[in-house]
Structure formats: C-alpha cells, structure tokens
Amino acid sequence: MPTFSVPGAELDVELSDEGGHPVVQLHGLTSSRHRDRLMELDLGRGLSGTRLLRYDARGHGHSTGRAVPEDYRWPVLADDLLRLLDHWFPGEQVHGVGPSMGTGTLLHAAVRDPERFSSLTLLVPATAWKTRVAKAEAYRRNATIIEEQGLDAFLRAETAVSRPPATTGAPETVPDVTERLLPSLFRGAALSDLPTPDDIAAIGVHTTVLAWIDDPAHPVSTAEALVDLMPKATLEVAHTPADLARWPSILCDDVARHD
C-alpha cells in the first residue's frame, strides 16, 4: 500500500479506482480500515464505479504516529484529511463518509474548506459539547489505566461494557493501535470536540446522519443535534443488525444522488 507523509506521521493509504465520483472513507478512534471491516462499518464495500480512498488515521492500523496527544486532536486529523484530498483529488469535490472520530474529522474539514465536499455520510457521531465533558474524563482515565496497569486491564474493562443492539453478532475486536501510542490517542480524543454549533450550521451540503441506539459513547442526541443544525441533513437510526446491514446501500444512494 502507498504511504503519504504528514507532519509527524506516515499514513497508510488505499485507493480503489473504478473511475467516477471521488469518495473518502475514514474510521473511528482506535480502529482502522481492517477493524472497521470486521465491525461492519466498512460501508465502502458496497460501492462500485467510484474512486474510493481509504486510509488509516495517524497512529492507527498501519499508519505511524508519535506519542504526542495533541497530534490526535480532530482539527489535526482534519489537516491530514485535507492534505490527502489535495494530493489524490486535487480541485475536486469529494463525498466523505466515516464513523465517530471520522465524523469529527470530516466536520472539522468541512468547516475549514466548505467547497471541498459534495456531500457527507456521517456515522454514529460521538459525544459532543455538553456530553463531551464526561467522555473526555473517561478517555483520560483509560489512558491512565493503560499506563499504570497495562493494555489487558483496559481490555477487560471494555469487555464489561454492553454493545449497541445493532451490532449483535459482530465479532469482538481489539484496538488496532500499539499499546505505546494508545494513551496519547485517548488524551488527544479528550482534547477534541465537534466544531461549534454555529460552524456546523454553516455546512450546506447534503448530509445523511446514521446513528444507532443504546450507545452512550455515540448518543442519538448528537445525531439529532447535527440534523437540527445542518440545513440539508437527514437522520436514520439503527435498532437491529438488519438496520445496520442497510447502511452500505444508503452510502451508495448518497454518492449516486450527489455525483
């Protein structure tokens, strides 16, 4: 796979070039292209006739990174994304898709460069604004547990957390991040939040927001707030694995609609 240099990291990049509209697919915190595939969040698997760019964010998967929490703030990840798009799709409008941290990255990039995106598909937006405070503290606790007790102690605590019903039957996975970098990723996430509501409201492209129920880390309330703020956004909420299985076709429709 080719790599792409950004300040402080080498990003592992994959381009599936079938011609057609450019699409960029991101992943969530502690995940990667590979892990999102296992978690049924690789929506791009259903696309054809596009130029689909996938990559592992800095510090994740096969990309490198530094043990510097500030490197993993969402605005920094948005810088990485915009550099990638300038290189792979110069001067073109791109459809962006991604879950959680990927959603945060896309929104910061769309605020920074509103002409860059033709449309968006945002999956399971994470805690934001008022609900972000408690989650940030949880991320800092995770970092301390890993440093003081090791990765296994963190993983044992994670397995005790109930999973959203829409993910029932999906395999158990572990972070696709080295133990050395994981505390910095969590601290970077604790330093991150979505753009301000006013900035979000200025994003005028057609957007589909996909959420699922019973996930405190990705509350439906964030998805609803985004749809209320964004002038051309719609919401779909998954309750079951069958609902989740529809998401790749929704992405196909989004890309076709705005091509």
Sheet holding 206-212, edge to edge: 3-6, 9-17, 51-55, 22-25, 94-99, 117-123, 206-212, 233-238
Q: Give the model's pLDDT for residue 170.
A: 86
Q: Give the model's pLDDT for residue 46.
A: 81
Residue 259 confidence class, pLDDT cut points 50, 70, 90:
low
Q: Give the model's pLDDT for residue 38.
A: 87
Q: Which residues of 150-177 are buried (b: 16+ CB within 10 A; e: fewer)?
A: ebeebeeeeeeeeebbbbeeeeeeebbb
Residue 23 confidence class, pLDDT cut points 50, 70, 90:
very high
Q: Give the model's pLDDT for residue 157.
A: 87
pLDDT in tens, 212-243: 999 999 999 999 999 999 999 999 999 999 99
pLDDT in tens, 167-225: 998 888 999 999 999 999 999 999 999 999 999 999 999 999 999 999 999 999 999 99
* Residue 162 pLDDT > 90: no
Q: Give the model's pLDDT for residue 40.
A: 83
Q: For 2-20, what is the mean pLDDT?
A: 96
For the full predicted model, state whether its pTM sits above 0.85. yes
CATH number among 3.90.1150.10, 3.40.190.10, 3.10.20.30, 3.40.50.1820, domain 3-258: 3.40.50.1820
